[in-house]
Amino acid sequence: MDVQKAIAQTDPWSELKIYTAARIALGRTGTAEPLEAMLQFRLAHANARDAVYAVLDQPVLLQELQSLQQAAFTLTTQAASRSEYLQYPDRGRRLHAKAIEQLTEFNSTGYDIGIVLADGLSATAINNHAIPVLKILLPFFENAHLSVAPVCMVQEGRVAIGDECGHFLKAKLVIVLIGERPGLSSPDSLGAYLTYRPAPGLTDESRNCISNIRPEGLNYQAAAEKIFFLVRESLRLQLSGVELKDNGGEVDQLIS
């Protein structure tokens, strides 16, 4: 006799688990969770903690960007360590003086699009999903005759770091791909933030956000198409944030 199966009682809602990765219908053993559910929770919690302390795989990312014919800067923020980044969020929103010097010496003549890869709270998300999204997105920009600045890869960066990167690169619009706060079912969720006329000091209402980019969430193709639609609308209307609405649109029509 299988004692585990005899003791653990299934939940009558267990069939709903096929519709979500959330921790529902776990069953019970007396008044407690079954051992398997408890161990799965601990594993998910450990994966989320690992994601927070993960680092960007810069050599691989740079190699992939090179294969996409994209130049790149590797930049740092005013947060000198991961601990400092987590304790003092504002330091992850401003570039280090050396990073500003790098971008200033580049002496940009201006671009339509600036792209920033920032670790955020899950470098794992950037390592896993940023390149697949760019492989779909960059040809959209090329076909639409939109110029793209060298990619800024930022360690210890938060969303607002895109404002400074875009400002110094003289980009009309900046896209920040960043690792989102990990959850128990999604330690590697990628977010995309768009800002028209980026400049230091802008706040969240100036940005548009596309969240949960990953194969189990918003897939790469759908995410790239949504980003491209918002980019085209932002450049056409010369605005972003709360005033820019996602009304859908076919990519083929936007390119033509």
Q: Take residue 140 and report the two structure tokens written for it.
A: 């959209």
What mean pLDDT comes out for the span 118-132?
97
The helix/strand/coil state of 216 is: coil
CA 155 to chain centroid: 13
Per-residue pLDDT at 20: 77
On the question of pLDDT at 61 being above 50, the answer is yes
Banded model confidence at residue 5, pLDDT cuts 50, 70, 90: low
Q: What is the DSSP string of 102-155?
A: HHHHH----EEEEEEEE-TT-HHHIIIIIHHHHHHHHHHHHHTT--BPPEEEEE
252: amino acid identity, one letter: D
Taking only the tens place, the pLDDT of each residue in 161-212 is: 999 999 999 999 999 999 999 988 889 999 999 999 999 999 999 999 999 9
For residue 225, is it left (φ>0), alpha (ψ between -120 and 50) or beta?
Answer: alpha
The helix/strand/coil state of 203 is: coil
Poorest-confidence range of 79-83, 91-95, 205-209, 246-250?
246-250
Burial 123-141 (b: 16+ CB within 10 A, else e): bbbbbbbbbbbbebbbebb
60 vs 14, higher pLDDT: 60
Taking only the tens place, the pLDDT of each residue in 9-19 is: 777 777 777 77
Per-residue pLDDT at 1: 45
On the question of pLDDT at 43 being above 70, the answer is yes
Judging by DSSP bridges, how do beta strands 207-213 and 190-196 pair with one another?
antiparallel
Q: What predicted TM-score, i.e. pTM, was given to this entire model?
A: 0.87
Per-residue pLDDT at 141: 98
Per-residue pLDDT at 6: 58
Strands in 207-213's sheet, in edge-to-edge order, are: 72-76, 151-155, 111-118, 171-179, 190-196, 207-213
Per-residue pLDDT at 54: 93
**pLDDT-above-70 percentage for the chain:** 93
State the residue for tokens 């069939």.
Answer: 15
**pLDDT-above-90 percentage for the chain:** 73
